[in-house]
Amino acid sequence: MSSPSPTPYAVPRRSPRLVASLARLGLFVLVSLVAGMLVAGAALPFVGGAGVAVRTGIESYESLPSQLTTPPLPQRSRILASDGSLLATIYEQNRIEVPLSAVAPVMRQAIVAIEDRRFYEHSGVDPRGLLRALVGNSSGGGSTQGGSTLTQQYVKNVFVESAATPEEATAARARNVTRKLKEMRYALALERVLTKDQILERYLNIAYFGAGAYGIEAASLRYFSVHASKLTLAQAATLAGAVQQPVAYDPLRNPNSSQRRRTQVLNAMADVGDITPALADATAKIPTKKFLKPSSTRNGCTTSYAPFFCDYVYRQLSSNPAFGTTPAARDALLRRGGLTIRTSLVPATQKAAQAAVDQYIPRKDKSRKLAAITMIVPNSGQIIAMAQNRSWGTTGNGNTTYNFNVGTKDGGSIGAQAGSTFKAFTLTAALQQGLSPYEYLKAPQTATFKDFKNCKTGAPYAPYTVNNSTGAGTFNMLSGTAYSINTYFMALEEKATQCAAAAAATALGVTRGNGTPVQSNPSFTLGTDEVTPLAMSSAYSTFANHGIRCDPVSILQVTDRDGKGLPVPKAACTRVIDRKVADSVTSILSQVIDGPLPGRTGQTMSLGRDAAGKTGTINDSAAVWFVGFTPDLAAAVATYDPRGGYGHPMKNISIGGQYYAQVFGRSIPGPIWRTAMLAALATTPKTPFDLQTLDGLGTYVPPPPVTATPTPSGSPVPGGSPSPTPTTSPGPKPTTSPSPKPSTT
């Protein structure tokens, strides 16, 4: 059966696609007309100037690109300890992006009702709003009205977030025709590729709600301490009202203005039928303070329990090319945020290290002396603790923003002279050259050395006189190290050359605190270079790791906002010393702590497990150190006065309520080291040194032919390093004289 023929005068039905196209065309003509009128400043009569206005508007409008580039929104980044616990939150903008499903429906209703009640009806630009703005602008008054939809507001916020300079951000907020045209163009294009809910989700995540809160989730937590999914009607109306003027309607700063604005939002919700007028009236009367429960997210490292380690990590993110090939790229990464940064810090070890430095030199101690410790795992280079007896702060005793564990490029200081801890590098050079650890050298109380030559020119140095503070006689490497005999090590350095000793230190990764190489002067073995605990703990950890140096690392993993892993610096582990040489140094240094010689400098530092280390004391105790290690952990402790060690020596002084005629390695830095190490290794099995030494070198030390003379206290004074060089000030550049004047004591 055939179909009936159509009625001759019937109008063909238009397809939905055609209807939508015609609607967009009509809207385009309207937008172009309004744009043209705005461009013309509404100065032309409508009848005579409409054609010109439309043509101008179309040309201006069509010249704009149609695709909106939306960069990732800045979010919070989290710095975590090795166990995943939070160390700090850092952000350019306090924002937590959430899906629309995680926003309470009442919040969605409130923002649409007050900002764009026709949001679900228009195509990105609301003709009614445009005409309202056109009429308002045509009436004069010198101001331009908005008429912006939520989509346009989102576009404006994208322009602001994309601004590369403050000037660009200001231009993005400017109330002018150019910005309005761009908003219209991009809003219409955006609505063709995103759903309404997708646009609303993006708007709620980008909008600023005041009090430092960007996005609905951060704002909910900031003002009410609840997630956006749990917002009540009163809370939602308060937040919806804040976006128009975040400062004026901030409920914390201006509760009365906020309440009046909340009433407007509630009335708007009643007008569109989201709530009843009675509910709107009842909710409007609730005092703002009744449902406010503000909370703040601390930004940065300053309030972390490990602020100086945290700052070191942040500086690594800012400076290491692994996180961006240029400073601008690294800065952009940090500003975008959304990162999860897992570090090497072990919370229990960090807290133990902090407790140790605070125990022996309290943070606000009247002496103002500093104690700093860095702890490193030898076979990975991981920094598991970095503490100092200071709080983060810019003023007041016990406060500082300097990290005295690291050098100047990492936010630290120029360091401090490390004294006899440098003798380990002379041991390394001597063993590398085949000198026997059992060869005896004469070490008188005072000796003058005449055979040192400049490493670069070969020119001889002037005669250099050194004194002992721990006895005199004839010593080999084991006994000379156990008693830290200055003239013995000067004689050993003269045989091996200070050039080789400095080269060994460099191979172990030691640089001065100011970033320059160590100095190859005759006084090198006495530790006259200013170095940091990080450098020294890393160097000694290489001995523990049998001559394999692992670069210090603090960042183990970085993931972006999508959970994608980013490249991180690897702990490059490289053999820098032959194993037998490194193990022989370890064997010799173990005599300092657990050897048989009475009065050895580190005899009170025993851990009850295999350990090795060295004291270091500068003249007048201007700086005093202890650096030591086990197979599982290395640590360096430095104590001195940041105001200048020579100007404020640790002699005839009370520290932590105890009087010291003079501070030595066994007095404060050694006990700090031992306390921190015992706590850090409490759950670690007692790992023995697996040593492969030269010449069958073992743990037995034959008695020296001439006995070293201990101090009256029964313990020898660790070898002092004669140098008038300032040791501690973070700012002034240290002196670098080739041969510091020897001590006369």
The tens digit of pLDDT for each residue in 210-250 reads 999 999 999 999 999 999 999 999 999 999 999 999 999 99
- The average confidence (pLDDT) of the chain is 85
Greater confidence (601 vs 732) lies with 601
Q: Rounded CA gap, 708 and 480, in Å? A: 9
Instruction: List all residues 6 or more positions away from 521 whose beta carbon is below 8 Å from its beta carbon.
Output: 461, 498, 528, 738, 739
Q: Are 414 and 736 in contact (CB under 8 A)?
A: no
Q: What is the pLDDT of residue 185?
A: 87
> Is the CATH code 1.10.3810.10 the one for domain 96-291?
yes
Strand 530-531 to 548-550 pairing:
unpaired
Concatenate the DSSP letters of all residues of 335-351 into one string.
Answer: HH---EEEES--HHHHH
Q: For 453-468, write each residue's pLDDT tens digit.
A: 999 999 999 999 999 9
**Tokens, residue 708:** 């070293």
Q: Rounded CA gap, 507 and 504, in Å? A: 5
Q: Rounded CA gap, 552 and 571, in Å? A: 7
Q: Rounded CA gap, 634 and 610, in Å? A: 12
Q: Measured in Å, how far apart are the chain's first and last C-alpha atoms?
A: 126
**Tokens, residue 691:** 């040593």
Query: Lowest-confidence range among 138-142, 510-514, 704-708, 713-717?
Result: 713-717
Q: What is the DSSP letter of 517?
A: B
Q: What is the pLDDT of residue 298?
A: 86
- Nearest partner of 568 among 551, 555, 584, judged by Cα: 555
- How many DSSP H helices and E strands does the chain contain? 23, 25
Q: For 11-56, write each residue's pLDDT tens digit.
A: 333 344 444 444 444 455 455 555 444 444 433 344 444 444 444 4
Q: What is the pLDDT of residue 66?
A: 59
What beta strand segments (E) does 161-226 contain? 213-214
Q: What is the pLDDT of residue 1?
A: 43
Greater confidence (703 vs 673) lies with 673
Q: What is the pLDDT of residue 311?
A: 97
Greater confidence (408 vs 718) lies with 408
Q: Rounded CA gap, 128 and 34, in Å? A: 11
pLDDT of residue 4 exceeding 70: no
- Nearest partner of 669 among 655, 688, 683, 687, judged by Cα: 655
Q: What is the pLDDT of residue 745?
A: 27
Q: Which residues of the chain does CATH 1.10.3810.10 include?
A: 96-291
**Position 74: which residue type?**
P
Q: Rounded CA gap, 349 and 335, in Å? A: 31
Q: Rounded CA gap, 263 and 722, in Å? A: 77
Average pLDDT, integer, range 150-175: 83
pLDDT of residue 728 exceeding 80: no
Total residue count of the chain as it appears in this document: 745
